[in-house]
Amino acid sequence: MFQNLFRRAPDLSGVELLFISRDDCHLCDKALAVVEEARQRQPFQLRIVKMVEGDEWYERYWDKIPVGLVNGVMLFKYRVTAEELLAKLRVRATAP
């Protein structure tokens, strides 16, 4: 019964979140602040890509930013909370 209360959260230090945004994007700024809040709670790797018109990121995600990816899997687009992000990262960390 009490097992789940004391279960340790998976280590996220080896998980890299690819955060795709662009300049002059208020939604991107807000989402990045949430990502940083989540990193304060439980550290994980972060790579930030600022797409520009014509690059491969722009072609794929111009209408979805901000976007968070782990190993090519989209964890969020537009908005996310720190709790949602950490939950999704934990699932990815324990996925085979």
Tell me if 40 is assigned to some domain: yes
pTM of the model: 0.89
Dist CA 65 CA 68 (whole Å): 9
Token output for 74: 């989209």
Tell me if 12 is assigned to some domain: no
Tell me if 10 is assigned to some domain: no
Backbone φ and ψ for 67, nearest 5 degrees, come out as: -130, 140
Total tally of structural domains belonging to the chain: 1
Q: Distance from CA of residue 27 to its chain's centroid?
A: 14
Asked whether the predicted pLDDT for residue 3 surpasses 80, the reply is no
CB 92 within 8 A of CB 73: yes
Q: Which domain holds residue 74?
A: 29-94
Q: Find all residues with CB under 8 Å of 26, minimum gap 6, and list them.
A: none
Tell me if 19 is assigned to some domain: no
Asked whether the predicted pLDDT for residue 90 surpasses 80, the reply is yes
Q: Residue 87 maps to which CATH number?
A: 3.40.30
Residues 8-63 pLDDT 10s: 778 999 999 999 999 999 999 999 999 999 999 999 999 999 999 999 999 999 99
- Report residue 95's pLDDT band, with 50, 70 and 90 as the boundaries: confident
